[in-house]
């Protein structure tokens, strides 16, 4: 072919020199990372590439043969043959879908399509890239955009790791943060990234997707080795049946029998390829039009995840319908019931708080996506003036706007429920405090009654003790003295009993009652003094 011959000349050699220079730039930029695609090691995954050509509303998808990728010159030739349009028809609109960041393919595409190194670096680690013109004006969405979306992946672990731990996640050798591994869980949620480079070029435009394969590297592992002991693969969700809150089914109007249930675990790559192969695609000279299907499935990922995570059972009826309608009737002697109910309220409140934090995190990413796609500007129109494509853009913009409004509604709903839980907790706490105050009053009353009874008993015992102390000893003594011999009752010395018993009894009685008499005297003096003070006050007045 003429193109092959031309590509094998000096231009191809010059491109190979540029590719080598580009490789060194990327290796230097990522040299501080423990794992990155430009390392010359076995990463455990292979990149996939497809070429999508658009013509009159239809698209054809082909897989280029890049088996000679280890030779830069051969790779350049093969890539040129794959990208160049087979016919001389105009316009030449080509979309390059790349799953996984293959370094050799990335270098060739970068030289071919003038892709800056920051495009790959920004995709490698979660970050925001803003492309500016030399005059300081931000490039439009037709040049570059990126988006994150939630996805589910399945744990695949060997026997060496069967306990909970914290891991660094690398998806397609790209860093995706820290996640927790729990052997009791089958899957985990990760953040996938999609990046688009659409600088106007006859050679085509590029969409870079995360590969559905990841490895987990322990945080405390000093030396990183691949493949890791725990990996992540595509998670295929089981059919949940009619009991699920929401479900989506992909149905073609031309072939309704070819329906397929859509789930959040379905890889983006598979969904996008099938759509490009079967559906009508409206494209213009605006590169943004080529990735409409990709953006549609990114939106579906978000919509599916939010509808599953934030259905009414997780927002409105989080405490259960039976608890919500149960009357608040607690008997005073059932305080443990109130305490247990308080614990449940605190647990539900905590669940709502965590749910709201996730929702706010979602809103941040969705707002970032809306801004990256240019849908925050209602005046933004297609630069090509295609009315049909402009209608598609308007519908897409409204979907994202409604999704954000739905998130705000959920946030208000959760916030209101949190406020109600807080009020309920305050009411139950106040009710419990009143019960405790009533208990304290009853306990104090009982203690006072017991103290009064004890005082009465003590006084009675004291009086009896005093009487016994005075009367008994001296009565006995008087009796003995009065008998002085064989006296009988009524004889002449009987008066001795009275002469001894009575004085001693009165004397000891006075001695025993001395404290009581002094207390009476003090109270009387105090009362007399108070009366005198009152008279003096009246006289002065």
Judge whether 54 and 85 are in contact, CB under 8 Å: no
In a domain, 482, yes or no: yes
262 burial (CB, 10 Å; 0-12 / 13-18 / 19+) is middle
Which residue has better confidence, 144 or 182? Answer: 144
Q: For residue 48, what are the contacts with CB-CB under 8 A and spacing of at least 6?
A: 98, 99, 100, 211, 269
Strand ranges (DSSP E) for 276-358? none
In a domain, 234, yes or no: yes
In a domain, 189, yes or no: yes
Residue 348 CA from chain centroid, whole number: 14
pLDDT confidence band for 398 (50 / 70 / 90): very high
Tens of pLDDT, residue by residue over 22-43, are 999 999 999 998 889 999 888 8
pLDDT score at 109: 92
pLDDT confidence band for 252 (50 / 70 / 90): low
Domain end among 293, 309, 325: 309
Residue for token pair 């008994």: 472
Average pLDDT over the chain, rounded to an integer: 79
In a domain, 257, yes or no: yes
C-alpha span between 376 and 359 (Å, rounded): 20
In a domain, 438, yes or no: no
Which residue has better confidence, 313 or 499? Answer: 499
User: Is residue 255 over pLDDT 80?
Assistant: no
pLDDT score at 276: 92
Domain end among 254, 281, 309: 309
Residue 458 CA from chain centroid, whole number: 67
Task: Determine what percent of the chain is predicted with pLDDT higher than 70.
Answer: 71
pLDDT score at 1: 39
- The 8 Å CB, 24+ separation contacts for 294-299 are 294/194, 294/196, 294/207, 294/268, 295/147, 295/373, 295/396, 296/396, 297/268, 297/271, 297/272, 298/147, 298/149, 298/194, 298/268, 298/369, 299/396, 299/399, 299/400, 299/403
pLDDT score at 188: 84
pLDDT confidence band for 321 (50 / 70 / 90): very low
In a domain, 491, yes or no: yes
Tens of pLDDT, residue by residue over 404-455, are 999 999 999 888 888 888 887 787 778 778 777 877 888 888 888 888 888 7
User: Is residue 256 over pLDDT 80?
Assistant: no
Give the count of domains, the chain: 2
In a domain, 57, yes or no: yes
User: Is residue 478 over pLDDT 90?
Assistant: no
State the DSSP code for 250: E
Q: For residue 153, what are the contacts with CB-CB under 8 A and spacing of at least 6?
A: 187, 188, 189, 190, 212, 214, 232, 233, 234, 235, 265
Domain end among 309, 327, 342: 309
Tens of pLDDT, residue by residue over 483-541, are 655 555 556 666 666 677 667 777 766 766 776 777 778 888 877 877 776 666 655 55
Q: What are phi and psi of 94, to 5 degrees?
A: -135, 135
Secondary structure of the chain: what % helix, strand, coil (to 5)? Answer: 55, 15, 30
Tens of pLDDT, residue by residue over 262-284, are 666 678 898 899 889 888 888 88
59 burial (CB, 10 Å; 0-12 / 13-18 / 19+) is buried
In a domain, 349, yes or no: no
C-alpha span between 294 and 276 (Å, rounded): 9
Query: Among 258, 259, 294, 288, which residue's Cα sits nearest to residue 275?
Result: 294
Phi-psi region of 106 (alpha: psi -120 to 50; beta: other; left: phi over 0): alpha
Give the residue-averaged pLDDT of 174-185. 84
User: Is residue 2 over pLDDT 50?
Assistant: no
* Tokens representing residue 44 in the block: 């455990």
pLDDT score at 339: 73
DSSP characters over 122-149:
HHHTT-----B-TTSPBP-TTTEEEEEE
- The 8 Å CB, 24+ separation contacts for 250-256 are 252/278, 252/279
pLDDT score at 203: 64
Q: What are phi and psi of 206, to 5 degrees?
A: -125, 135
Tens of pLDDT, residue by residue over 49-93, are 999 988 877 888 999 888 777 788 888 888 888 887 665 555 568
* Tokens representing residue 80 in the block: 């040129």
Please give the residue range of the domain that contains residue 507.
460-540
Model pTM score = 0.75
User: Is residue 117 over pLDDT 90?
Assistant: yes
User: Is residue 318 over pLDDT 80?
Assistant: no
C-alpha span between 77 and 81 (Å, rounded): 6
């Amino acid at each position: 072919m003429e193109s092959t011959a031309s590509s094998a000349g000096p231009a191809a050699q010059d491109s190979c020199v540029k590719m080598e220079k580009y490789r060194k730039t990327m290796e230097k930029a990522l040299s501080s990372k423990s794992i990155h695609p430009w390392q010359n090691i076995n990463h455990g995954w292979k990149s996939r590439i497809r070429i999508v050509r658009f013509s009159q509303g239809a698209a054809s998808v082909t897989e280029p043969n890049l088996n000679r990728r280890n030779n830069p010159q051969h790779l350049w030739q093969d890539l040129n043959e794959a990208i160049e349009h087979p016919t001389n028809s105009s316009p030449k609109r080509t979309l390059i879908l790349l799953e996984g960041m293959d370094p050799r393919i990335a270098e060739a595409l970068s030289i071919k399509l003038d892709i800056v190194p920051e495009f790959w670096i920004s995709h490698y680690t979660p970050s925001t890239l803003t492309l500016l013109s030399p005059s300081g004006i931000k490039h439009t969405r037709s040049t570059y955009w990126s988006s994150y979306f939630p996805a589910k992946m399945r744990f695949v672990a060997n026997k060496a790791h069967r306990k909970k731990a914290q891991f660094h996640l690398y998806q397609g050798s790209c860093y995706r943060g820290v996640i927790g591994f729990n052997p009791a869980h089958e899957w985990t949620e990760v953040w996938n990234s999609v990046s688009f480079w659409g600088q106007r070029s006859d050679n085509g435009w590029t969409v870079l997707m995360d590969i559905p394969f990841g490895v987990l590297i322990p945080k405390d592992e000093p030396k990183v080795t691949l493949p890791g002991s725990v990996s992540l693969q595509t998670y295929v969700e089981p059919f949940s049946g009619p009991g699920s809150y929401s479900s989506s089914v992909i149905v073609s109007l031309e072939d309704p029998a070819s329906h397929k249930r859509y789930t959040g675990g379905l890889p983006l790559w598979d969904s996008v390829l099938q759509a490009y192969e079967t559906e009508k695609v409206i494209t213009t000279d605006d590169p943004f039009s080529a990735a409409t299907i990709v953006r549609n499935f990114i939106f579906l990922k978000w919509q599916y995840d939010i509808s599953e995570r934030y259905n009414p059972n997780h927002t409105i009826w989080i405490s259960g319908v039976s608890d919500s309608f149960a009357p608040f009737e607690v008997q005073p002697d059932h305080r443990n019931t109130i305490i247990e109910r308080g614990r449940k309220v605190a647990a539900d409140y905590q669940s709502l708080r965590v749910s709201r934090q996730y929702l706010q995190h979602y809103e941040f990413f969705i707002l970032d996506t809306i801004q990256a796609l240019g849908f925050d500007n209602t005046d933004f129109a297609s630069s090509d003036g295609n009315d049909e494509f402009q209608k598609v853009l308007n519908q897409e913009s409204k979907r994202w706007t409604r999704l954000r409004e739905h998130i705000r509604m959920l946030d208000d709903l959760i916030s209101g429920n949190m406020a109600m839980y807080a009020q309920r907790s305050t009411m139950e706490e106040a009710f419990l405090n009143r019960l405790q105050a009533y208990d304290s009053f009853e306990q104090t009353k009982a203690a006072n009654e017991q103290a009064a009874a004890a005082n009465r008993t003590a006084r009675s015992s004291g009086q009896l003790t005093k009487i016994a102390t005075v009367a008994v000893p001296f009565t006995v003594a008087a009796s003995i003295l009065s008998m002085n011999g064989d006296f009988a009752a009524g004889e002449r010395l009987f008066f001795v009993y009275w002469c001894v018993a009575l004085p001693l009894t009165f004397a000891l009685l006075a001695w025993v009652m001395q404290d009581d008499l002094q207390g009476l005297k003090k109270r009387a003096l105090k009362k007399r003094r108070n009366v005198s003070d009152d008279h003096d006050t009246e006289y002065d007045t």
